Structure 1
Amino acid sequence: MSTICMPKSILDKLDRACKSFLWESSVEHKKQHLVAWNKVTRPKSEGGLGIRAAQDMNKALVAKLGWRLFHDHDSLWVKLVKKNNKVGNIHDGSWLIKKGTWSSTWRSIASGLRDVVIPSKIWVLGNGRQVKFWTDRWLFNRILSEEAGGLLPQGYESMVVNDLWRDGNGWRMDMITPYVSDNARLELTSVVVDKVTGARDRLSWSESVDGNFSVKSAYNLLTRNSDPRPNLEKFYSRVWRVTAPERVRVFLWLVGNQVLMTNAERSRRHLSSTDVCPVCKGGVETILHILRDCPAMMGIWTRILPPRKRRTFFDKSLLEWVFDNLSDENEYCESTWATMFAMAVWWSWKWRCDNVFGNNIKCRDRTQFIKELARDVTLSHRLHNGSSTSGSRGDVLVGWVMPTDGWIKLKTDGASHGNPGLATAGGVLRDGYGDWCGGFSLNIGRCTAPLAELWGVYYGLYIAWEKKITRLELEVDSQLVVGFLKTGVSEMHPLSFLVRLCHGFLSRDWIVRISHLCREANRLADGLANYAFSLPIGFHFFDAVPNDVDSLFRDDVIGSTRPRRIRL
């Protein structure tokens, strides 16, 4: 499965084995497949079970070998495969043209490269000497030549990024602006060519946030369906998160797909001559009739319902009814209503099946039985998770905290109106007395929020270094960025170009402490970032407190605090 593309007949047999296991079917005893296989293999959030189809899984596994071909440069097998098959530059696809002399292994790897890896590759900028400026996907997953509409001058398509970058001046906008949109121009201002660390351009995977290839993301790419259909992600999220045994969740999944073998469904499949309810003889036996509207179950619901639900409980459609009740996590009878509802629905179906097949089990009080069952399920779940209640939360007061004596504190922040969207950053340096030592606002252009946060850190470190500060406390309100600064990121990460530049400052001859702080304690840096939206594109330094953030600065001076709800 992970080294060659297997024959379709073998893959079909694997799928049939999975289907038989799922529906408990065999050669001797055929059973109805309630849900189509192409729906079963969808992610759980889309109404499937997340079971992976063999053919797509095989292709995703083989694609991983293709990805490693361009990243595991020291692996012996990579060196041998490249040499034996004359693997060339990724911009030149001539070495991927299929030949009859190829081995089965290389034929499979080449298929994964053509169908998965190359269409989904993006570039992370280094020195800009390998990335094609107009034809490669490198700027927020867009190809700039597509915006030019085929109007590029002769020779432009062969230009690399470095050809349109001037050290010390930035992008050669006179050669770029006539052929790109305003959004692309603003996005360019947020990206730089790395001429400091000496990093090369590198390939990244567009289907993951961190740029690393994974079989899961490749499989999701291969099975992605762009056909319009209802978005039921919230519904199935409730189904799979409800506190109930797994068999109950699977039953609720069948309810969501509306495939229970009621008389109405059996009649539709020409397996029954009648669709009438065999219990009440008064209506069509639909899913909603069995679970709620049949008098046999309606009496139980009437006795079990909390008062707040009695007015609308019997008026909703099936999916709306299930979603509304599974969303109710309020405590009820030593359980939650969502759990009690799930158990009641499950047992309403079991009792109906027992009635049909003559396996009726006497139950003195079905209402009390469901309540006790829901209580036991909830208690078991809480014991399994190590506590009887979820973590409590409380309010704490946060605000400006003086740096350690002899240290300077740097606070930075970034803001983005979209992802990507118009973006800014800001930062402030203050000493142990809280006095203003310098601040800045940066109108970046257009980028994502994490990139805006990193630009704030970069310029803050730049200013601190230029001021010859030797002990610096850096505080950022983004835990993601703090993680980048403390542990680094892989070279394939889309933000690695700027993380490397920040690490270049951090590795210099000074002491920098990095920590996370709450947003409520970072209002001044946030104010400087928001102030940048009213300023021209570029960097703006302030020796004194700008009038627009003076009130925020004074709040810190007088020790103003704000409440923050945290887990205790």
Structure 2
Amino acid sequence: MSRSFNNADRKGPSFNSFQGTDSSLLVADLIDQHRQWDLTAVSSNFGQAEIDRILSIPLSIFPSEDALIWNGTTSGNYMVKSGYYFATSLAEHQDAGSTYVYENWWSKFWKLKLPSKLRIFVWKVFHNAIPVAAELHRKHIANTPYCPLCKQQQETIPHALFLCTRAKEVWRLSSIKLNFKLAATSSAEEFLFYASDNTSTSDFEQFLTICWSIWYERNAEFHDKSPKQPAAVLAFATDYLGKYQSAQAQSVSNNSAATSITHPASRSQVAASTDQWIAPLAGKFKLNTDAACNKASKIIGLGAVLRDSSGLIKAAFSKAIKGCYKAEEMEATALVHALQWLLNLGLTADIIETDSLLVVQGLKAASSCSSAFHAILNDVNYLVSSFPRAQITHVKRSANTYADVLAKFALTVDTDCTWLEEFPPPLMTVM
């Protein structure tokens, strides 16, 4: 990391008070040689609110290039839905009742089974952001405000989607039963509310897809492509939505049927959770990890224990690091330090257990994400690739007691503790 730490590094509204005291300060200047936040450097440059915020950001053990992260999603990737919620959260002086209506409508909308391009289109319609002739003429971009297809009326969004001669014929052929005459005296937003309130979920999905298909055909014809018959426009919309929803249903079915997965980077498998600790097979070793946090002192405790098929402890550690992350980030960090610790000792693990389901699910997913959490998961995948037979498994807390006790013990001592071929004294309380 080499970029300057300034106002551009704010991650969200909760960071509004951030003010760097030294414009030449780099993020790298705040990280020590152990890839942890340097408390001395952080404390000497920032106030307590900023210190707490910085210590909430987990650090990868491997230096990497800077990347832009959208803090409105768990993946770190920008989505229209999260952008909308962020924008509305910044809106001021809105009537409480009106806000509830909008939030309720958008909540229903985001649950619809629609492809992303269609969601974006509807969002633009709702906010009068599609380039109809009337709006382009108002901005002195188009020579005329009239509809380029029927040339009879000014082309507003309601006209283009519902009132143009071509659009009317498509709706007449469809199974959607609405009073489209209302569009003449309604805004696009108002008619979307009306359609949502007067159709079933499946019909509303079909309604929005037909709107998109009508607009798609309008643009094609505007750019001198041969016009389609209204029946063909309707058939295209029906077929498009049907294929999309069938593909989504098949994807969900495939994911549900899968019981394990081989990760391309780590070749680690994810198995089902259990209630009690179970010894591995003869000749195998099982690693359990956990994390705990003292929020007041901003210290994270990490615990790990390696046991054989007889349940005997081969190695264990209890370690504290600086910070106070989200629960899943701390659990992933515990895995990173435990795997690094095993590699340094020359030990191996065949089964790796954590009581964080989010970590296991994150390792199972093959999607490309940019969040701090996923940066730590990348560390896990890199390290676990050194254990080619290792399975990463979720267990319940009751099956992870030893690691839990060692993680909490780390919060009470000032030094890292490692035990080899001996029973750690802190575990005497849970024998």
Instruction: Please name the residue that 1:534 is paired with.
Output: 412
Offset of residue 481 of structure 1: 0.3
Instruction: Verify: 1:405 aligned to 2:287, yes or no.
Output: no
**1:24-43 alignment runs, 5 A limit:** none
Instruction: Please name the residue that 2:350 is paired with.
Output: 472
Separation (CA, whole Å) in 1 of partners of 2:382 and 2:360: 15
| Letter of the 2:360 counterpart | V
Offset of residue 218 of structure 1: 1.1
Instruction: Please name the residue that 1:551 is paired with.
Output: 429
Separation (CA, whole Å) in 1 of partners of 2:14 and 2:412: 28
**1:276-315 alignment runs, 5 A limit:** none
**1:199-214 alignment runs, 5 A limit:** 199-214=64-79
Separation (CA, whole Å) in 2 of partners of 1:527 and 1:472: 22
8 Å CA contact retained: 1:135, 1:143: no
Offset of residue 171 of structure 1: 4.5
In structure 2, the CA distance between the partners of 1:193 and 1:530, relative to structure 1 (3 Å rule), is closer
Separation (CA, whole Å) in 1 of partners of 2:274 and 2:70: 42
Offset of residue 168 of structure 1: 4.4
Offset of residue 441 of structure 1: 2.3
Compare CA radii of gyration and give the structure with the larger one: 1
8 Å CA contact retained: 1:443, 1:539: yes
Which structure would you say has the larger RCO, counting Cα contacts within 8 Å and 6 or more residues apart? 2
Structure 2, unaligned runs of 5 or more: 109-272
Cα RMSD between the aligned structures? Answer: 3.8
Offset of residue 163 of structure 1: 3.6
Q: 1:217 aligns with which of 68, 82, 99?
A: 82
8 Å CA contact retained: 1:430, 1:436: yes
Separation (CA, whole Å) in 2 of partners of 1:437 and 1:418: 31
Offset of residue 419 of structure 1: 12
8 Å CA contact retained: 1:527, 1:549: yes
8 Å CA contact retained: 2:290, 2:302: yes
Offset of residue 518 of structure 1: 1.3
Offset of residue 486 of structure 1: 3.2
In structure 2, the CA distance between the partners of 1:173 and 1:472, relative to structure 1 (3 Å rule), is same
User: Can you list the C-alpha shifts for 1:517-565, whole angstroms capped at 9, x where unaligned?
Assistant: 11211122122222222233x743334434332132x2xxxxxxxxxxx
8 Å CA contact retained: 1:415, 1:424: yes
Bigger shift: 538-547 or 134-143? 134-143
| Letter of the 2:396 counterpart | C
In structure 2, the CA distance between the partners of 1:463 and 1:169, relative to structure 1 (3 Å rule), is closer
In structure 2, the CA distance between the partners of 1:548 and 1:226, relative to structure 1 (3 Å rule), is farther
State the secondary structure of the residue aligned to 1:535.
Answer: coil
Offset of residue 429 of structure 1: 0.9
In structure 2, the CA distance between the partners of 1:170 and 1:431, relative to structure 1 (3 Å rule), is same
8 Å CA contact retained: 2:275, 2:395: no
Offset of residue 440 of structure 1: 2.1
In structure 2, the CA distance between the partners of 1:221 and 1:499, relative to structure 1 (3 Å rule), is same
In structure 2, the CA distance between the partners of 1:187 and 1:143, relative to structure 1 (3 Å rule), is closer
Offset of residue 409 of structure 1: 0.5
Separation (CA, whole Å) in 2 of partners of 1:397 and 1:486: 18
Q: 1:494 aligns with which of 372, 377, 394?
A: 372
In structure 2, the CA distance between the partners of 1:188 and 1:489, relative to structure 1 (3 Å rule), is farther
Structure 1, unaligned runs of 5 or more: 1-127, 241-395, 555-568
Offset of residue 411 of structure 1: 0.7
Separation (CA, whole Å) in 2 of partners of 1:495 and 1:140: 17
Offset of residue 403 of structure 1: 0.8
Instruction: Please name the residue that 1:358 is paired with.
Output: none
8 Å CA contact retained: 2:289, 2:303: yes
Q: 1:161 aligns with which of 15, 19, 27?
A: 27
Offset of residue 489 of structure 1: 5.5
State the secondary structure of the residue aligned to 1:429.
Answer: strand
Instruction: Please name the residue that 2:392 is paired with.
Output: 514
Instruction: Please name the residue that 2:291 is paired with.
Output: 414
User: Can you list the C-alpha shifts for 1:107-133, whole angstroms capped at 9, x where unaligned?
Assistant: xxxxxxxxxxxxxxxxxxxxx123x22
More strand by share: 1
Instruction: Please name the residue that 2:330 is paired with.
Output: 452
Offset of residue 475 of structure 1: 0.7
Separation (CA, whole Å) in 2 of partners of 1:195 and 1:529: 19
Offset of residue 217 of structure 1: 1.1
